Structure formats: structure tokens, C-alpha cells
């Protein structure tokens, strides 16, 4: 599903964020990406949805080669990838329903399709009863669930979550994790960058640790730190 072959990224200002990473993530996997701030984790994640372009190396997602991809093809890559952020990135003037529908409108889906599909995903994130609410009327956890609904509404093959629990309290974080696990069970590949030690250690998944722009550990059921 996701393949990186000796990928390097040096920013124009000389910062070497990623220094030779190779990974393979299978379809349907759930992967944590951990690492301290500035370790290159963000760049690693951003290259997956082509927010950043690698300086060197090969990246392919679901058969698309990102290194040689033309600019105008990027929108079609993004339709196969859902992205969730720490700060939700909802549009404040739109209702929950409209925020989720937005992702389908911009790829020109029909009204009937949108209505049906949006209610389906709101059901998955358990917000069907709050479809008419505005984002500021919701709790942080609920807002993140709206963002997740928006990310999966177009049936992406991969869901990328960049510290999705970073702004949430522990209980709410667990709520989000259960939803992500449920989405993963339906077959969506999930890559999640996180700093949350509790979650990583108790909900064991494949773990990729990044340090100094390189992969320092890649374990099948890893823990946040080296097990002593």
C-alpha cells in the first residue's frame, strides 16, 4: 500500500529532515509513528500525501509513484488519502453535516450520494444526532470525530492521522482510538503520528520510531520506548 525506498528530504534552508528512509506498509495495517519533535516525523508523514516532495528516493501509495507525479495529478492522489490533524481544521461557519459534505462537494459528487454517505460516516463516528450543530457547539473530541468523518467520507485507502489526540484529554483520546480501530477493521490502512505513550503501550500495533531523520526502530507490536 505504502512503499518508501531510500527517501531523503532536505529543505531549501539546508535542514535535513529525512535521511534515507525505506519502509513498506501493507494494506490494512495500523502503524504508529513516534519520535521527538524535530526528528523528521512530520516531514515523513507529509511526504505521504504529497504535501512535501522528497529530494531523492521513491514513494508509492496505492500504485501511484509520488516522486514522478505531475502537479495536476495530486488532487486525485489526495482522494485516496484521508488526513486528520491535531487542530481538527473544521470550517467554523459550516454545520457538522456541511463540514463532512464539503469533502464530497469539492470532488463533485451528486447531492443524493452526499446525503447518504455523510449520514453513514456520521453514524460511524457516532455523531448522527449532532449533524446540524456548529463546530463551536461541540467538545474537542466531537470535533475530532467530525474531522475523522470528513477524512473517511470519500472512502480513502489510507487514513493519515497527525497527532489526532494531541489536544484531547485521556478519556476522549481513547474514544478517538476506538473509532480509528473500527475504521481500520473495515480495511482502511492507518498511519498515525503520536506522542501518546499510554495509547501506544496499551493498544499495541506496529511501531515506527524516527530519530534524526532515520528509522531507529520498526517493531511489529512495539512500545513507545525501548523495553527494558
Partner 1 sequence: MKVRTFGRHIREGGKNIVRNGWMTFASVSAVTVTLLVVGAFLLLIMNLNHFANSLEDDVEIRVFVDLGAGEEEQESLREDLDDLPEIGSVDYIPKDEGLEAFIDSLGEQGDYFEGLRDENPLNDTFVIRAEDPQETENIAVEIEELDHVEGVEYGRDIFEQLFSATDFIRVVGVVLVLGLLFTAVFLIANTIKLTIIARKTEIQIMKLVGATNSFIRWPFFIEGLLLGTFGAIIPVSVLGFGYHRFYETIGENTGLEFFEFLPTFPLVIQTAILLLAIGAIVGVWGSIMSVRKFLRV
Contact positions toward partner 1, by CB under 8 A? 49-51, 71-72, 74-79, 83, 89, 91, 102-103, 105-108, 111, 150, 154
Nearest distance from residue 38's CB to partner 1, in Å?
Answer: 23
Residue 84 CA: distances (Å) to CA of 20, 134, 163, 191:
26, 19, 8, 10
Q: Which residue number, 102 or 224, has a Cβ lying nearer to partner 1? A: 102
Least separation in angstroms between residue 107's CB and partner 1 is 6
3-state helix, strand, coil in the chain (%, to 5): 35, 25, 40
Using alpha carbons only, what angle is made at residue 137 by residues 184 and 160, rounded to the nearest 5 degrees?
Answer: 25
CB burial readout 162-172, b (16+ within 10 A) else e: bbbbebbeeeb
Looking at the Cβ atoms of 107 and 119, the one nearer to partner 1 is 107
User: Which residue's CB is nearer to partner 1, number 15 or number 106?
Assistant: 106
When the beta carbons of 14 and 92 are compared against partner 1, the nearer one is 92
The residue (of 78 and 204) whose beta carbon lies closer to partner 1 is: 78
Cα angle 185, 187, 192 (rounded to 5 degrees) comes to 75
- How many other CB atoms sit within 10 Å of the CB of residue 33? 25
Q: Which residues pair with 197 in a beta bridge?
A: none
Minimum gap (Å) between residue 81 Cβ and partner 1? 8
Q: How far is the CB of 106 from partner 1 (least distance, A)?
A: 4
CB of 225 to partner 1, least distance (A): 32
Amino acid at each position: 500500500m505504502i512503499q518508501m525506498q531510500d527517501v531523503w528530504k532536505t529543505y531549501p534552508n539546508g535542514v535535513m529532515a529525512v535521511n534515507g528512509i525505506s519502509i513498506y506498509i501493507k494494506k490494512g495495517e495500523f502503524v504508529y509513528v513516534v519520535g521527538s519533535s524535530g526528528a523528521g516525523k512530520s516531514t515523513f508523514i507529509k511526504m505521504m500525501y504529497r504535501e512535501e516532495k522528497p529530494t531523492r528516493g521513491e514513494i508509492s501509495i496505492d500504485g501511484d509513484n509520488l516522486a514522478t507525479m505531475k502537479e495536476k495529478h495530486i488532487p486525485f492522489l489526495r482522494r485516496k488519502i484521508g488526513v486528520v490533524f491535531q487542530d481538527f481544521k473544521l470550517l467554523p461557519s459550516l454545520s457538522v453535516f456541511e463540514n463532512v459534505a464539503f469533502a464530497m462537494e469539492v470532488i463533485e459528487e451528486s447531492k443524493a450520494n452526499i446525503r447518504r454517505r455523510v449520514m453513514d460516516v456520521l453514524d460511524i463516528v457516532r455523531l448522527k444526532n449532532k449533524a446540524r450543530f456548529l463546530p463551536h457547539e461541540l467538545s474537542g473530541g466531537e470535533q475530532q470525530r467530525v474531522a475523522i468523518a470528513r477524512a473517511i467520507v470519500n472512502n480513502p485507502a489510507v487514513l493519515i492521522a497527525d497527532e489526532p489526540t494531541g489536544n484531547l484529554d485521556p478519556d476522549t483520546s481513547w474514544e478517538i482510538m476506538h473509532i480509528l480501530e473500527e475504521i481500520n477493521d473495515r480495511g482502511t490502512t492507518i498511519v498515525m503520528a503520536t506522542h501518546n505513550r499510554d495509547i501506544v503501550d496499551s493498544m499495541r500495533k506496529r511501531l515506527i520510531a524516527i530519530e534524526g531523520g532515520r528509522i531507529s526502530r520498526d517493531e511489529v507490536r512495539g512500545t513507545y520506548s525501548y523495553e527494558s
